[in-house]
Every structure is written in C-alpha cells, then in structure tokens.
Amino acid sequence: MQLRKLDNIYDVDKLLLLYEMLDDNSNQIMITSRGSSDLKDGVGSIFNYLPDDEWKWDTIHNVFASTYIEEIYNQLKTEWKIGRVRFMRMHQTNRALSFHYDDSIRLHIPIITNKDSWFMLADNSMHQMDQLGRLYYLDATQNHSALMLSRREDRVHLVFSVSPKI
C-alpha cells in the first residue's frame, strides 16, 4: 500500500510550538543537516542531488537538540534509517507539486492541515493525511503529488526521508 496510517501519534501542540518559533515563511525548514548550521541547507528538490546524497543529512541541527523533535527522531531511528528531515509547508499560493517520485519512503506528521489538502497516488486515487500528529507512511518511490486547494490556510508537515533498517 502506497499510503497508510501508522500507529504512532505525536503531540502536535509541541511540534507546532517549535515550528512557530522558527517559521520565517519558508516553504521548508531543515531539521537535519549535512554539517551546516543553515536551516535552509538542502532545501529544494531531491532531484538536485544524487540519490545517495539523501542520507548525508544525518545530524540534528543544534536548535532542535534536546527538543521534542529530537525525541521523535531518536524513536524513529530505532526502526528506520533516517535522511533529510524537514518542515514542509504548502502555502495558499503553492497549490500543487508535480506528479513525481522520490528516492525514498517518506514519513509525514501533519501539524497544520485542512479539508482541502490532498495527496494523489500512483493509481490516481486521492487521499488526505488529516489526523494531526499521526504518523503516515508514504511510499514516495512511486508517483505521487500533493495538492493544497485552500485559499485561506496553509498545510505543514514534519517529513522524514527514511529507508527500512536492514
């Protein structure tokens, strides 16, 4: 199954507080780093990087050390190899992503969403990640897109690029 809810549920209020402390109206804020202190290090499309580069973001930024995000990171790290981690925002003016695929699985935790936020999967079915704080599994190696159709509200997810631990 390309998209499914996992059992993990996180405290969205704690995540939202951390996001709002940092939000500078960027569409992406990096949680992990390749050694840079820049919270925008690596922001952009993974297509700008080689597939192996995804795993170079292997250090939690100092600003997130000893926070709830590091707690979640460490818990997920017991089950997954973790690469880039970031807050991803779809703004009211950023309405859709191209139909694309990525080089890894993505774990999403919605922290802000709305009834007009959708994912289109490879089979062209439409789905919502509508439960705040819930961990969602997305096999992003298959075609998918995100659609944000609200004209009044943003959508923000905490997104982990992962692969199963061997």
Which class is domain 3-164? mainly beta
**Nearest 5°: phi and psi at 69?**
-65, -40
Say what the pLDDT of residue 92 is. 76
Task: Spell out the per-residue pLDDT of the chain, length 166, in tens.
Answer: 999 999 999 999 999 999 999 867 788 899 998 888 888 877 666 566 666 678 888 899 999 999 999 999 999 999 999 999 999 998 877 778 888 888 899 999 999 999 999 999 999 999 999 999 999 999 999 999 999 898 888 999 999 999 998 7
Q: Where are the domains of the chain?
A: 3-164
- Do residues 95 and 133 touch, judged by C-beta distance below 8 A? no
* Residues forming a β-bridge with 148: 117
Q: What's residue 43's pLDDT?
A: 66
CA torsion, points 43, 132, 101, 2, in degrees to nearest 10?
Answer: 160
